[in-house]
Amino acid sequence: MADFLEFYPLRPHNTLGFDVTARYAVPVRSEDDLVQALDDARVASRPVLVLGGGSNVVLTGDLDAAVLLMQIPGYRVDTVSDGEASLVTVGAGENWHATVLRTIADGLPGLENLALIPGTVGAAPIQNIGAYGVELRERFHALRAWDRQTRRFVTLDAEQCAFGYRDSLFKQAGRDRFVITAVTLRLPRRWQPALGYAELARGVAHLPAPRPEDIRDAVIAIRSAKLPDPAHLGNAGSFFKNPVVSAPLRDALLREHPSLVSHQQADGSYKLAAGWLIDQCGFKGWREGCVGVHDRQALVLVHHGGGSGNDLMALAARIADTVAQRFGVRIEPEPVVI
């Protein structure tokens, strides 16, 4: 039977390090734990929040909620019948980065571009994690989840998960409906390096034939140089999504701001670098009381300690308003605000 912890401090469970409590917290170590916890009156009568690594949430105050601390373990490798790929099924509570390292050590490359992303495996599909030219959806086979509406375990494939840029079913129509318990990754046997991201390509340019291990190490080096370690400085990675705008709007902005950073999308629209927009407004390294903007990456908001999620959201609103005034483009927060 799952343990119920009362007035449980969540500070170690969110990488921004906000000091809030949950009315109940329940460690979930198996699918049975999960179903039992959800059936308990203390959980059924309250909002439910599933926390993995807590690396993509902003907790704005004490929660009269039941927090499920997702800790389901598991790691299993299968080979698909045609031998073209390995399917790696991983428990939702496993650490994402540890999983990346383990697959590479097992001779199953494909996740190296996604090294050092904080959080758990179960959280990865929710925002379709992506970095250095690879998104989770490109390595995704299926996931298993408890459907709170039909009270059954279901298997959802990539199409059903409706992945988008930092988006999925689980942030849209399926929000609060599904609890992910395991994710199956599809890692093709025939490995090809993904070096489309210029800074990463430069990082391995001295190697005639970079191996997955070399790419993993280059990604770790780039991330460590730019992104703060949550163990030392509270943060939730990129705080805003890169806004997508039409080609005419991007062209107009480029005429006015020749150093604008933008990337064309498959449909002809452009993704603008939100970090650049924020940087241009002078916020890099900005501090407002206990919260601020990272001094090496303007897209990352930080918590220096002693502040609240509301302080951070006030700063985020101010940044978004300033960017909108200056560039006429609205930037949206990426983490889930609770």
**Residues of the shown chain interacting with ligand EPU in the complex, contacts defined by CB under 6 A:** 131-132, 197, 226-227, 237-238, 241-242, 261, 273, 275-276, 279, 284, 297-299, 334
Q: Cα(54)–Cα(16) distance, rounded to whole angstroms? A: 8
Nearest CB to ligand EPU, comparing residues 82 and 256: 256
Supply the minimum distance, in Å, between the C-beta of residue 141 and ligand EPU: 22
Active site residue 166: yes
Nearest CB to ligand EPU, comparing residues 53 and 237: 237
Supply the minimum distance, in Å, between the C-beta of residue 201 and ligand EPU: 12
Supply the minimum distance, in Å, between the C-beta of residue 14 and ligand EPU: 14
Conformational region of residue 309, where left means phi above 0, alpha means psi within -120 to 50, and beta covers everything else = alpha
Nearest CB to ligand EPU, comparing residues 75 and 197: 197
Supply the minimum distance, in Å, between the C-beta of residue 281 and ligand EPU: 11
166, 216, 223, 250: the catalytic one is: 166
Half-sphere exposure of 175 (CA within 13 A, CB side): 9
Active site residue 148: no
Q: With the CA atoms of 267, 273, 278 and 281 taken in that order, what torsion angle do they form, in degrees rounded to the nearest 10?
A: -90
Are the beta carbons of 331 and 241 closer than 8 angstroms? yes
Nearest CB to ligand EPU, comparing residues 52 and 275: 275
Q: Which residue is nearest to ligand EPU (CB)?
A: 237
Active site residue 152: no
Q: Cα(182)–Cα(162) distance, rounded to whole angstroms? A: 17
Q: Cα(286)–Cα(106) distance, rounded to whole angstroms? A: 43
Torsion sign (Cα): 274, 277, 283, 285:
positive
238, 250, 262, 308: the catalytic one is: 238
Point out the residues that are catalytic: 166, 238, 334
